[in-house]
Amino acid sequence: TVGAVALDQNGNLAAATSTGGLNSQLKGRLSDSPLIGAGTYANNPYCAVSCTGKGEVIMRGVLAHEVYALVKYAGEGLQTASEKAVTMHKALLDGDMGLVSLNQQQEVAFAFNTNMMKRGYSLGGAAPLVALWDNE
Amino acid sequence: MKKFAIAIHAGAETVKREDISKEQETQYREGLQEALAAGNAVLEKGGSALDAVVAAIEKMENNPLFNAGIGGNLNIHGETAFDAAIMDGKNLKSGSVGSIRYVKNPIKLARVVMEKCRHNFMVDTGAEEFALSQGLELKPPSHFVTEEKLKSWHQNYYDDYLKGHD
């Protein structure tokens, strides 16, 4: 799965996600990626979110919207909201998950429970920063 | 100075470090940088966040290293099938597509569904007919299948079926 979130100079947020699904998935199986609120969500000015991981778990966790809800209704910061969304229902939603989020204040957050998430960001046109492993 | 930013991911997974070579790591990083550069090029010129995310995703869909577009995973029948979505935070408009097989860049189809379709989620052959009506580029299924994914499908069929990953 690949995903992107962006903030433009007019203060608008957007999110997009695209995926090839699971290895050996059943024909006709849909992932979380195209489900708004699960794999993809954007709502000015709170956040834009794109998710990756085990689709069935992300759908049941409504992961992208969970980040938005934690920011808007619980008043959490973007990084805290992103981390909580990935970890808060661990007992019920056990599976690999990761996400990237961005808000109108140009804050970027990454959260994942795996040892690798291919990721990167750039602020204001500055040189991009990319990382792969959890300790980077 | 006005703020703008882009952030991307290309998949989260639990893997053994020794299974990823230094060469692969370098290729992943280069692919991520290329996608960020494409999105940044849009934003720097004052382009929209929507255009930026499409530009970044298109690069990654065209990169065989990532599980989207070329290099997508193979299903139980050894076929590729793609899902994609886009959402505009300004007006909460969205477009989604699922189980499409012939559209070169699924994210572009999600974008036209959002902007030109009276529905916001299209799947399978109906989505592909809509892509045709909008003049999007189509490709044969073989375009998306890489040698590496085919080899992996043959080797790991049953393991992947049991645990799986998007």
**Model pLDDT for residues A40-80, shown as the tens digit of each residue:** 999 999 999 999 999 999 999 999 999 999 999 999 999 99
Q: Do B66 and A112 lie within an 8 Å CB cutoff?
A: no
Phi, psi (degrees; rounded to nearest 5) at A22: -90, 150
Decide: B110 and B85 in contact? Cβ < 8 Å. yes
Decide: A66 and A51 in contact? Cβ < 8 Å. no
CA dihedral A56, A57, A59, A60 (to 10 degrees): 120
Q: Rounded CA gap, B116 and B111, in Å?
A: 8
pLDDT of chain B, 166 residues: tens digit per residue: 689 999 999 999 999 999 999 999 999 999 999 999 999 999 999 999 999 999 999 999 999 999 999 999 999 999 999 999 999 999 999 999 999 999 999 999 999 999 999 999 999 999 999 999 999 999 999 999 999 999 888 887 666 666 655 6
Q: Do B166 and A1 lie within an 8 Å CB cutoff?
A: yes
Q: Count of CB atoms within 10 A of residue B155's CB?
A: 10
Type of residue numbered B121:
F
Q: Count of CB atoms within 10 A of residue A84's CB?
A: 16
CA distances from B90 to A7, A85, B48, B49, B117 (A): 11, 23, 11, 10, 18
- For residue B100, give how far its alpha carbon lies from the nearest alpha carbon of chain A (Å): 10
Q: Do B83 and A34 lie within an 8 Å CB cutoff?
A: yes
Q: In which residue are the tokens 């974008």 written? A: B111
Q: Rounded CA gap, A51 and B12, in Å?
A: 9
Interchain CB contacts (distance < 8 Å): A and B:
332
Q: Is ipTM > 0.95 here?
A: yes
Q: How far is CA A17 from the centre of its chain?
A: 9
Q: In which residue are the tokens 């597509």 written? A: B97
**pLDDT averaged over every residue in chain A:** 96
Known catalytic residue: A1?
yes
Decide: A84 and A101 in contact? Cβ < 8 Å. no
Decide: B37 and B6 in contact? Cβ < 8 Å. no
Decide: B84 and B107 in contact? Cβ < 8 Å. yes
CB of B140 within 8 Å of a chain A CB? The answer is no
